[in-house]
Every structure is written in C-alpha cells, then in structure tokens.
Copies of this chain bind each other. A is one copy, B any other.
Amino acid sequence: MPKGIPETVPDDGLTTRQRRTLPITAVHTGPGKGKSTAAFGMALRAWNQGWPVGVFQFVKSAKWKVGEENALRVLGASGEGGTVAWHKMGEGWSWVQRSTEAEVSSEEAAKEGWEQVKRDLAAETYRFYVLDEFTYPMHWGWVDVDEVVAVLKDRPGSQHVVITGRYAKEPLTELADLVTEMTKVKHPMDAGRKGQRGIEW
C-alpha cells in the first residue's frame, strides 16, 4: 500500500504533527464479515504503540470472539506493548456488583456499558477503544445516538474509538473519520457449511 498523499490540505490551522495525533473515530458496518475482526486487528497496532487498549463487547454471548480475546489478553500481559482490558456484557460487566439473584435486561446492561465508556473517555483510561457491536444498542434505541455523538465529539486528549456492527446510524457515520462497509459477497454458510473452529471463533 503506497503512503497516502492527502488530496487536500485542510484549512484548520493545525500542523501536520498535530493532525497526526487527532483522535480517530472509525465505524465498521455493513452485512459482511470482518467488522469486529478488523477492529481487533487495529487493536494490534495500538498495542504495538504501547497504548492502553479497552474493549467493550456489547453482545450477550461473547463466545465467538474467544480467539481474539485470548490473543489480546496474552499481548496485554506480555509486557511488550500496551495493556489490554477486555469488558464483556455477556457475563455482566465486571465493574457492576450485583446479587446473584438479580436479573438485568440487555437494555440495562447496554446502558451500563455506555455509562462506563463515558467515564473512561472522561478519565482518558485508554488510548484505543473497541466498542464492539455497539451499533445495535443505538439501533434498538437503548442508547441515544445523539448523546454518543456529543460525547465522542467532546472527548478529551487523543483517544481513538472504533465502533462495529450493522445499521450504523447516520449521525454516527457523519461524525466518524473513517467508515468502512463490509459487504458479503459469498459465505460458506450459504452453501450449507457450518461455522468452523478457528475460522468463526
């Protein structure tokens, strides 16, 4: 891939150096494969920079990403790059203390996740965030997209945020610097093949 030459130079009063550390908001959307996978691939670069990486999985069952999770945990603990914190909604967020009897709805859990992301952004806890499948709570109206956009817009420092999932809403793609749509051209399940160990999870 050739080094990119910007087509235009923005009239924003920033130096190239300042522009290079601007926080990036990226959205991976569309019906195809690779939305989350590419986000975790990006996390490898962030880790390599020594940046603290925070992953928030906004899904009930997280078993399909156990490969990525184990890999990033091993990297985070290796002492060679940045740290990695991996938060899963599926088993209840780790920071929420709850009696074993208490049941929480997916909607409440998604809201709790977003509240924590807000706290972490305000505190600049991480330098690189993966908000995995976070488009769905917005799509279902559980988390207000306008609030998300406002919080992301005003976040302090140079914190990069990647959001994955189908049905990304327009205010979010409007805000994002980088939007990639993954299109399914062909999938083995169409031919009756089942999910495969090492490929699907």
Cα distance, A196 to B18, chains bound together (Å):
10
Cα distance, A192 to B13, chains bound together (Å):
12
A21 at interface, CB cutoff 8 A: yes
Of A68-76, A101-109, A110-118, A147-155, the segment with at least 4 beta carbons within 8 Å of chain B is A68-76
Q: Interface majority SS on A: helix, strand, loop or mixed? A: mixed
A98 at interface, CB cutoff 8 A: no
**In the complex with contacts A177-B188, A180-B183, A186-B178, A71-B47 CB distance below 8 A:** yes
A85 at interface, CB cutoff 8 A: no
A199 at interface, CB cutoff 8 A: yes
**In the complex with contacts A80-B74, A186-B176, A192-B40 CB distance below 8 A:** no
How many copies of this kind of chain does the complex include? 2
Chain A 18-45, CB within 8 Å of chain B: the 1/0 string?
0111101010111011101111111011
- Nearest residue (CB) in B for A3 is B195
A-B contact pairs, 16 of them (CB 8 A): A4-B189, A7-B189, A7-B192, A10-B193, A19-B194, A48-B67, A48-B70, A49-B67, A49-B198, A70-B81, A71-B71, A74-B81, A128-B198, A177-B191, A177-B193, A182-B183
- Further contacts, 8 of them, CB under 8 A, given A7-B189, A45-B200: A6-B193, A8-B191, A34-B34, A34-B180, A37-B42, A70-B80, A180-B184, A182-B182
Q: Residues on A close to B: CB < 8 A? A: 1, 3-4, 6-10, 16, 19-22, 24, 26, 28-30, 32-34, 36-42, 44-49, 51, 59, 64, 66-68, 70-72, 74-75, 78, 80-81, 127-128, 133, 160, 173, 176-201
